[in-house]
Structure 1
Amino acid sequence: MKFNHEEEENNFSITRYESMLRSNDVKFFDSDEFESIIHHYLENGKIAKAKKAISLGLSQHPSSVNLKLLQVEVMVFEDRLDKADNLLAQLHAIEPENEEIYIQKANILSKKNEHFRAIELLNIALKYTNDEADVFSLIGMEYLFMDDFENAKVSFMKCLEADDHDYSALYNIIYCFDFLEQHEDAIEYLNMYLDKNPYCEVAWHQVGKQYYDLKDYKKALAAFDFAIISDEYFIGAYLEKGKVLEKLKRYNEAIENYRITLELDDPTSFALLRIGKCFERLGNDDLAIQHYSKTVHEDPLLDKGWIAITDFYLRKRNYQKALYYTNKAISIDAENVLYWKRYAKINNKLDFFEEAERGYRKALELGNYELETWLSRSDILRFLGESDAALQNLFQAIEFYPDNAEVQFRLAGIYYENQDYDKGEHHIRKALELDYEYHIVLEELFDKVFNLSLVKNIISEYK
């Protein structure tokens, strides 16, 4: 239900209504005023105030169908679906051609996951509504709930035909195209839309993003330029243009575009991070690190910022500084697996093996089951003399990588070191069957085992 009261009138009604509540002096409001007051409270999430206004409204206008429909809306919001259903049945008997009755019934069915039935009722609402765009949008959402992206796309297109300035419908159409990976079709549709709306910055922006996904960076750049011509304050277009310029290795121009966004609005950590990356690629390390520092200052929770600083120092082999920033990052978010992986890698480089083992263990606990993590941890545990823990770690790795030769060769090596020759032979044979070439693992990590004549004899069998 849409109401087109002037904003001043709305504000006046709300002010008068709230002053009445404070004074306990009951004043008369017509039903339209009550509707706008209730809408104001619902839009601002003030449900208790909306309920009070509905109650007062119905005491002054007991036969108002629209006020009762707002009552239904609140009931649905509070999951009192049966009561809402009963009230809708009564209202349907009074006004069978009121589209809002069908919309609210559809809303109830949607909450019960009965999306097909909800769409049937919304199609009935279409017969009676003056706002087809709104109803088509609701139908589109029902199809999205069912992951039916084709029908959702068609519904949102009908919504946009009815109201060509409904940008949320345009975004939903592109969302469907993207999900279906129909980038060329999306561009074709957007170009048709732009024929009618040539200065729609949102459509140009979306065209650019489609070309970006297709790696056609020159066309993407042209589209973002048109978006900026249509709206020179469109921050999203400058950010996307910056990303394209980076892909084209035009780093100075990319920096210019990111800087425009900093002037148009408060600095964003994304723009600061990208400026830092551009400076690093231009070889200007001082300005790169300066912008990475600004990034984490602006948004300490942005892991990409901390990772950029850490990786910068890792590339420079400045492991002490890399560790300093990784520790800072972990102190802010100790559940971030990317931080722990770097913590382990850096400590390993610094020969701080116990700390490195802790880092790999923490990464595994947080769900990072990459092969490299298991292997690195087992190598460190063995180096620390904890061969039982290394074996246990490798058997856990086998659950995720049952046919990996590197894991099997390590198991063989440890068993031979422990003089458990039967188990050693079992695992070396399994490893050689999986991948003969990887016997180099034994040579590099277990040279004493590799030089045993009984091991050399087994390896020679598989040449």
Structure 2
Amino acid sequence: IYAERRKILIDQANTLYQQGYSLDAEAVNKSALQIDPTITQSFINQAEKLVNQGKTLCQQGQFQEALSIFDQAILLFPGDASVYVELGKALFEIECYDEARDAYKKAMQLDANWTRAYVEQGKTLLNKGKALEELGRFEDAHVAYGQTVLFYPMDANAHMYLGKVLYELERYEESRDTYKQAIYLDSSKTQAFDQQRQELINRGKMLFDLGDFEEALAVYTKAISFDPHFKDGYVGKGKTLDKLKRYKEARAAFQAAHSIVSPIQPIAQNTSWMYKEPFRYDL
């Protein structure tokens, strides 16, 4: 009777797992173990055999087949953290990074010692992105960094490098938002954001000094897109529009700069007339 009841429960657990109800399957599986606790070691032995089989399949590059094997092992012995790690590795290889992340998280919940393995996998993706970025392959680097963020969303470096490559692709608003996430995770990443912002401001100033006002205007507009709360972008834009005799637009830019002035960004004494005098900006 016990054997028959246990078999019914195990079959039920298998069906639930195949349908994607893994938590329900684990609960039913535990019920089967409670009926006859003596089979626990048998389940462990079977799970170990399945894990070894799955590893062999991974070595042969048959990752999809390995996934099914690891799922069966988890069903037999859901308390073994190492099985989830192997599952995570296989999912990582087929670029299912969000699912791989969840598998690693489950392993770490069961055994925190697996945290290092998870971190190292994240570094693998990050280093791939860095290598592509150094080759100037920014689109490919963007993909790699995006995968890193998906797999390891709490890594501030991953967000920072993603922000950097988005900046190189001139996707400034996305870059800004990504940097914000990096700064949220690690406030020291503010320095990298500030450097990129200043790079745009300096480029605009250089073009302005060369008399290339149209190009300078384009760069200052990019600087504002990257950080709409930094006055230097608006001041530079206003000065450039003034040179182009687009006075009403210049006034709007100076007024925008004035509205965001803070103790950190005071208005220089010798430029205060730009905001106060109606002068030609009312023409």
Normalization by structure 1: what TM-score? 0.28
Q: Which is bigger in relative contact order (C-alpha 8 A, separation at least 6)?
A: 2
Normalization by structure 2: what TM-score? 0.41
**Which entry has the higher C-alpha Rg, 1 or 2?**
1
